[in-house]
Amino acid sequence: MIQSLSGPVDTRPWWQKLVQNYTLRTFVQSLFTVWAVITFVFFLIRLMPGNPVEIYVNYLMNTENLTYQDAYNRAASQFKFDPDASVVQQYFVYLGQLLRGDMGESITSTGTKVSSQILRYLPWTVFCVGSALLISFLLGMLLGMLAAYFRNTWVDNVISFLASIVSAVPDYIWAILILIIFGVQLKWFNVGDMRGTYDPATPPGFNLPFILSALQHAILPITTYVLGSIGRWVLAMRGSTTSTLGEDYVNIARARGLKQNRIMTAYVGRNAALPLFTLLAISIGFVLGGSVIVEEAFVYKGLGSFLFWSISQRDYTSMQGVLLIITIAVVFSNMLADLLYSRLDPRVRVTGDK
């Protein structure tokens, strides 16, 4: 009694294969999502009170004592922005630009490409939030697994208790606590020295002083992000490991006489980590956005703080640029999560799409 395992032979025509291709379909869906968000963002930000010219007019009237008319003329001549142009017309102009891969020019910093602004701030956020995510993910998994192995002992109690507390406090509260307690009260570091992304005295370049300076400036936001997110990883990994430990195949692996560390890694660890990898891939999307408030608190010049600045200036094009990047990152990391999961878990591998 030989049982066959092979599926039926794929006889679909090429166009049907194309339409039914899982990766391609996911990709097209993602593009559609991005377009929908762009459109939503475009109209939403124009519904905010005030526009770039008005904000600048107010600024000029307050600082340089100009009359409204003078200020308006100056603002209008400085900005390539016509507040009276039709919004729908602007929308199609913008879409046309995007299709050519152009995010346009900043409204308030005339002559500066939005893309070059983003490229200036993005690496800092990626570096800072990315390393925080990695630390938090690895450390969280380790602690979560430890808690699960020693469940209902003091090790588990301490880890779970701390993780619950830590995960209940949002990261901007940690930012403020760190600044006030360790910076202002205990004076462990000079708050002023930690501002920015690196010491202006060390010119950017691939050399030790610059790297050290970058690390030194990133350490506080990184700590903040880790504290803000590690609890979630610990609790997720603890739950996942606990349920995996109860699986038959783990018990049977023990009955098979496998060595403890082989069981811990290939049998428990690998299965317990599966759902966490999906979470990780989704989190990667949010790395680019960083956290507006945390970057503001540490005056860390990343994408989040740039977004904050462009919102306050009503710099529509910059805002659109940043939000577009964040949207793309989130949507495509979700797609990545899907695809990654199917690579890691043979059970969800889509047939005919290897």
Residues making contact with other proteins (CB under 8 A):
1-6, 247-249, 251-259, 262, 266-267, 270-271, 274, 344-347
Question: Closest by alpha carbon to 142, among 282, 276, 283?
Answer: 276
Question: Closest by alpha carbon to 274, among 342, 335, 331, 353?
Answer: 342
Nearer to other proteins, 100 or 256 (CB): 256
Evaluate whether 224 touches 301 at the Cβ level (below 8 Å). Answer: no
User: Residue 6 CB, nearest distance to other proteins (Å)?
Assistant: 8
Buried b (16+ CB within 10 A) or exposed e, 183-211: beeeeeeeeeebeebbeeeeeeeeeeeee
Nearer to other proteins, 6 or 190 (CB): 6
Cα 184 from chain centroid? Answer: 29
Q: Which two tokens stand for residue 335?
A: 């797609």
Nearer to other proteins, 4 or 185 (CB): 4
User: Residue 256 CB, nearest distance to other proteins (Å)?
Assistant: 5
Q: Which two tokens stand for residue 122?
A: 């993005």
User: Residue 292 CB, nearest distance to other proteins (Å)?
Assistant: 39
User: Residue 17 CB, nearest distance to other proteins (Å)?
Assistant: 23
DSSP 99-114: HTT---B-SSSTT-BH
Nearer to other proteins, 191 or 344 (CB): 344
Question: Closest by alpha carbon to 274, among 241, 230, 247?
Answer: 241
User: Residue 347 CB, nearest distance to other proteins (Å)?
Assistant: 5
User: Residue 258 CB, nearest distance to other proteins (Å)?
Assistant: 5
Question: Closest by alpha carbon to 124, among 281, 308, 285, 306?
Answer: 306
CA dihedral over 159, 165, 166, 167, signed as positive or negative:
positive
Nearer to other proteins, 8 or 257 (CB): 257
Nearer to other proteins, 5 or 88 (CB): 5
